[in-house]
Amino acid sequence: MATAERSVTADHITAVRSFNRRYTRVIGVLQGGLLGTEHSLTEARILFELANFGAAEVVDLRRELDLDAGYLSRILTRFQDKGLIARRRSDSDGRKQVVELTDKGHAAFAELDGLTQRQIGELLESHSPGTRGRLIGAMHTIEQILDADSEPDPAAVLVRAPRPGDHGWVIERNAVLYSREYGWNGDYEALVARIVADFLNSHDPQRERAWIAEYQGNPVGCVYCMREDDDTARLRLLLVEPTARGLGVGSALVEECLRFATAAGYRELVLWTNDVLTSARHIYQRAGFELVESNPHHSFGADLIGQTWRRALDSGVDPDR
């Protein structure tokens, strides 16, 4: 029996159905013919398979597309009547039938493919490159979650230096995620903006750094290492996107911060967080940080318990090695 945390709710089902209705309307698959052609979505997919993977045994085509045998047979008969496909017996097994596109079939697919390319291009062109990246990343996430054979690959996480625009992304994602998940108000966005601005305006690259975690070409996390005093560095703004949780992104960012702070000659790394951020606290604990202080406070529109965590460092390594 499923636990309460794993139970599928009516809201979950409604959200998925709503997304399906919206997306099928956006790409026009509810129309009688796909993209103004005479072909249905299923017929277009069959043409795609035959155009991209060549001749196929009918039984394999039915299995790959999960189609009813009678339904597929009727479509193939229509295709043959229109001269789009040719049928023959399999060379390896005369009981099996093989279908392949004719020149007319390839032309029909080329028309559909061109229309599809143009439609998707028009759908994306009104959005900024950053928004397009978020969209593609979200699509990859849907694929990974729904594909039972596809598992996220932690080795594909890249931790890199920020690029132009990344610091703006840090401010925007902190504001959005903490508002969505904890109800924090604009005071938190203002705090993040000040931290990032201070870093950009005056940081010493030998003793202060920032990192972006990237997965499948999209930023999914960040962390900053900033000078507190000659002996102490402060870890700030650790964030991991919900779509990347479980990939070890947070731990990878904290380890990079620890490595740099140690190499830069600091004797201690300190951070401040709040007790509601349980996932982050677990990352800090695993990385060897110790809780040294807790204080209640009212910030960002919420009653919180602030926590200070510290970890001693062994200094003396070149930070760029």
Q: Which CATH class is domain 154-312?
A: alpha beta
Digit-coded pLDDT (tens) for 292-302:
999 999 999 99
Q: What is the pTM of this model?
A: 0.58
Which is it for strands 290-299 and 302-312: parallel, antiparallel or unpaired? antiparallel
- pLDDT at res. 296: 96
Residues 6+ apart with CB under 8 A from 41: 29, 34
Q: What is the mean pLDDT of the chain?
A: 88
- Which CATH architecture fits 10-126? Orthogonal Bundle (1.10)
Residue 210: in which H helix or E strand, if any?
strand 209-215
Q: How confident is the model at residue 216 (pLDDT cuts 50, 70, 90)?
A: confident
Give the Cα separation of 90 and 99 in Å (integer).
9
CA-to-CA separations, 284 to 40, 91, 308, in angstroms, rounded: 54, 63, 11
Where along the chain do its domains lie? 10-126, 154-312
pLDDT digits (tens, 9 = 90+) for 248-290: 999 999 999 999 999 999 999 999 999 999 999 999 999 999 9
CA dihedral 247, 250, 251, 256 (to 10 degrees): 120
113 token code pair? 């493919």
The maximal CA–CA distance of the chain, rounded, in angstroms, is 81
For the chain, the first-to-last Cα distance in angstroms comes to: 52
Q: CA 169 to CA 186: how far, in whole Å?
A: 16
